[in-house]
Amino acid sequence: MTVKFQLLGTGAGPGVPSFYCDCIACLEAKEKPHLARTRSGAVLDIGHERILIDASPDLRSQLIKEQIKSLDYLFITHWHYDHFGGIGDLEFYIKLSRKRPLRLFLPPSSVEEFRLAYPFLEDVFKIETWEFGRTYQFGEVKLTVLPARHSIPTAGILLEAEKKVAYFTDTSGLPESTAKRIQGVDALICDSTFHGENWYPHSHMSMVEAIELGNMVRAEHTILTHLAMHYSTPTTVAQIEAELESYPNVSLAYDGMLIEL
């Protein structure tokens, strides 16, 4: 059976288009809805179970679009709204359909924040904390939580089956130990928040920096995700694809993209 990793959302915090914006990125997405970007998240489908990585504020619409009707686990990589804001969307799925608690893996530093934000959800989740360096086995897939380099404690995910895929949506480069661990992956799906100047060089990467990271870890394929598109220089998918013509092993992520493991 083929194991699939699907990108539910590939945008940064503002999403594309944003309701307040008429930059060229937003205009392109309004004219061509298939180029719209919801906030970042992904799902690992091993056939009999699905593991959700982050719950963006767009989660409900993402699950409907991809016709996903069941989930079994949820990993939150870090406690920023664009990665946890959709947790509440799972309340009635769990209460009315699943009818048993769903295992929720939180950053160790965010358990109290979860309880303050969602006191009404404690009975629908079995709350656990993930650990850096720990490997979780899901069927034939190994999922390892690795440190990213972000403004708060943040995880990236290494998936190992027939292929190896590293997923780091929010990071500025990588800690040395993480970079060594993911050397030679088949695919690096990584933070490419900024086009042009990187306003937050200690938390995110520009497209150029993301490509350099892919080369450094010798990834067979680098996939650019968590794309703001709005800043620092607004850009379009057409423009980025033209820029990437010089990089045959680099491609642009898009909502709904499937990677087989």
Between the two ends of the chain, the Cα-to-Cα distance in Å is: 10
- Which token pair is 97? 């359909």
pLDDT surpasses 80 at 71: yes
Over residues 132-176, the pLDDT tens digits come to 999 999 999 999 999 999 999 999 999 999 999 999 999 999 999
The percent of residues in the chain predicted with pLDDT above 70, rounded, is: 100
- Which token pair is 74? 């949820």
Q: How confident is the model at residue 122 (pLDDT cuts 50, 70, 90)?
A: confident
- With tokens 């995880």, the residue in question is 155
Q: Are 26 and 230 in contact (CB under 8 A)?
A: yes
pLDDT surpasses 90 at 2: no
Over residues 29-38, the pLDDT tens digits come to 999 999 999 9
| Third-level CATH fold of 4-260 | Metallo-beta-lactamase; Chain A (3.60.15)
- Strands 73-75, 102-106: parallel, antiparallel or unpaired by DSSP? parallel
Give the start-to-end residue ranges of the domains of the chain.
Answer: 4-260
Over residues 194-252, the pLDDT tens digits come to 998 889 989 999 999 999 999 999 999 999 999 999 988 999 999 999 999 999 999 99
Q: How confident is the model at residue 186 (pLDDT cuts 50, 70, 90)?
A: very high
Alpha-carbon distance of 152 to 137, in angstroms, equals: 26
pLDDT at 221: 98
pLDDT surpasses 70 at 121: yes
Main-chain phi, psi angles of 190, to 5 degrees: -140, 160
pTM as predicted: 0.96
The percent of residues in the chain predicted with pLDDT above 90, rounded, is: 96
DSSP 101: P
DSSP codes joined into one string, 30-95: HHSGGG-BPBPEEEEE-SS-EEEE---TTHHHHHHHTT-----EEE--S--HHHHTTGGGGHHIII
Mean pLDDT over the full length of the chain: 96
DSSP 107: -
pLDDT at 1: 64
DSSP codes joined into one string, 206-238: BHHHHHHHHHHTT-S-EEEESB-SSSBS---HH
Q: How confident is the model at residue 100 (pLDDT cuts 50, 70, 90)?
A: very high
